[in-house]
């Protein structure tokens, strides 16, 4: 007769241990039928201008990570993306550079200015990824680096005397370079994206797309999309974070048509019909990087910089960082994380 209450107690204890699935932030409904006509000018329309001035003063942070095997043109593409020499390779190639034994992580910071807008851009390169004979668990140093940046931010956030503006080193976007084989994705690609799509915004790109014919490119893109779907890999923009119908329609188009972007990068200029264009010279003509008939680089740049840069930052802060923070604080009994001296020393060495 006493079995019932005991079971229910155990169930209650279990439910306390199992964290509830995180609810998607509720988007407040638009108020219906409230249309107050103003009797005179108040100046509400200047709010946007006030916000613009404030953000212009502080500037922007954007941290982009590039992952993929050597020789896929990661550095070149990042340089092309920002029309500036911003990658590790731009400082000049060293002939004695050997393939790193493990994945090294190098972060290079720059300040880019355009039209009075300053952006502190950090490019995080991952030389050595996928270059070994045995690439087992080679994503671990990358996952560790991403989590270390969340930890750094969390430590600053829980300080009693907090900085007015916490330096943001969190990875906002990870460009994952897929080799243009025309076949299926490698197990390494799937394993990497499976592990890291939970902690960072992954944007898959097919590198050196000029090595494939148009038919091969279309077929390969469809195959990659199918394989990601079958393996349950969510790349950015993730379906569950679309906030409204407009976002959903726009992002569905990107997910179903553009992704993964088949791109070609180049930092060399050529003269085509009296115009200077970025391109790659081949025996049969010039592949224009920014020409949509030649490659999808312009689509990728517009997506990352012109339409979704702010959203990439928000998803990183509100979803990936929040998930890490909740896990850390839960594991610590809701207390701020303890400062460990060795960790700090390790971080300063990065």
pLDDT in tens, the chain (350 residues): 555 555 555 554 444 555 555 566 565 555 565 666 767 788 888 898 888 888 888 888 899 999 988 888 888 888 888 877 776 655 444 545 565 666 788 888 888 888 888 888 898 988 878 877 778 888 888 999 999 999 999 999 888 888 888 889 999 999 999 988 878 788 888 988 998 998 999 999 998 888 888 888 889 899 999 999 999 888 888 888 777 788 788 888 888 888 888 888 777 778 888 888 877 888 877 887 777 778 788 888 889 888 889 999 999 999 999 999 999 988 876 666 665 544 444 444 45
Q: How far apart, in whole angstroms, are the C-alpha atoms of residue 147 and residue 162?
A: 21
Name the pTM for this structure. Answer: 0.78
- How confident is the model at residue 27, as a pLDDT? 57
Q: What is the pLDDT of residue 342?
A: 44
Q: Where are the beta strands (DSSP E) in 239-303?
A: 261-262, 269-272, 275-282, 285-288
pLDDT score of 150: 94
Query: What pLDDT shows up at residue 344?
Result: 47
Q: How far apart are CA 329 and CA 325, in angstroms?
A: 6
Lay out the sheet containing 106-114: strands in order across: 106-114, 117-125, 60-67, 173-178, 202-206, 261-262
Closest CA to 87 of 71, 105, 103, 74: 74
Identify the pLDDT of residue 184. Answer: 79
Strand ranges of the sheet holding 285-288, from the earlier edge strand across to the other edge = 269-272, 275-282, 285-288
Q: What is the Cα–Cα distance from 285 to 272, expressed in whole angstroms? A: 10
46, 50, 61, 75, 117 from 55: Cα distances, Å: 14, 9, 11, 29, 9
> How far is residue 55's CA from residue 319's CA, in Å, rounded to a whole number?
22
Three-state DSSP class for residue 341: helix
Domains in the chain: ranges and CATH: 58-89+97-332 (3.40.50.300)
Using an 8 Å Cβ cutoff, are 130 and 69 in contact?
yes
pLDDT (0 to 100) of residue 22: 59
Tell me the C-alpha to C-alpha distance, in Å, between residue 111 and each of 99, 211, 317, 335, 346: 29, 34, 22, 36, 26
According to the model, what pLDDT value does residue 287 have? 81
């Amino acid at each position: 007769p006493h079995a019932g209450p005991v079971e229910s107690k155990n169930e209650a204890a279990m439910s306390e241990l199992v964290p509830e699935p995180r609810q998607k932030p509720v988007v407040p409904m638009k108020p219906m039928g409230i249309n107050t006509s103003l009797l005179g000018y108040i100046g509400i329309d200047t709010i946007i201008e006030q916000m613009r001035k404030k953000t212009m003063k502080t500037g922007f942070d954007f941290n982009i990570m590039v992952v993929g095997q050597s020789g896929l043109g990661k550095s070149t593409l990042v340089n092309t993306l920002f029309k500036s020499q911003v990658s590790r390779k731009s400082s000049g190639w060293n002939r004695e550079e050997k393939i790193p034994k493990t994945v090294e992580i190098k972060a290079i910071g720059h300040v880019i200015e355009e039209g009075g807008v300053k952006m502190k851009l950090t490019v995080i390169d991952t030389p050595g990824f996928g270059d070994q004979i045995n690439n087992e668990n080679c994503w671990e140093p990358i996952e560790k680096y991403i989590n270390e940046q969340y930890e750094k931010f969390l430590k600053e956030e829980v300080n009693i005397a907090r900085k007015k503006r916490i330096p943001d080193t969190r990875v906002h976007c990870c460009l994952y370079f897929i080799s243009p084989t025309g076949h299926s994705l490698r197990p390494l690609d799937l394993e990497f994206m499976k592990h890291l799509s939970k902690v960072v915004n992954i944007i898959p790109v097919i590198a050196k797309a000029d090595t494939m014919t148009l038919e091969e490119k279309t077929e390969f893109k469809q195959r990659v999309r199918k394989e990601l779907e079958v393996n349950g890999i969510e790349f950015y923009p993730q379906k569950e974070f679309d906030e409204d119908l407009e976002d959903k329609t726009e992002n569905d188009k990107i997910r179903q048509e553009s992704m993964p972007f088949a791109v070609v990068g180049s930092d060399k200029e050529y003269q085509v019909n009296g115009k200077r264009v970025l391109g790659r010279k081949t025996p049969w003509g010039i592949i224009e990087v920014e020409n949509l008939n030649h490659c999808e680089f312009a689509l990728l740049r517009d997506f990352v910089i012109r339409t979704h840069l702010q959203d990439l930052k928000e998803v990183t802060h509100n979803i990936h960082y929040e998930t890490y923070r909740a896990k850390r604080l839960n594991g610590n009994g809701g207390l701020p994380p303890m400062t460990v001296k060795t960790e700090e020393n390790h971080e300063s060495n990065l």
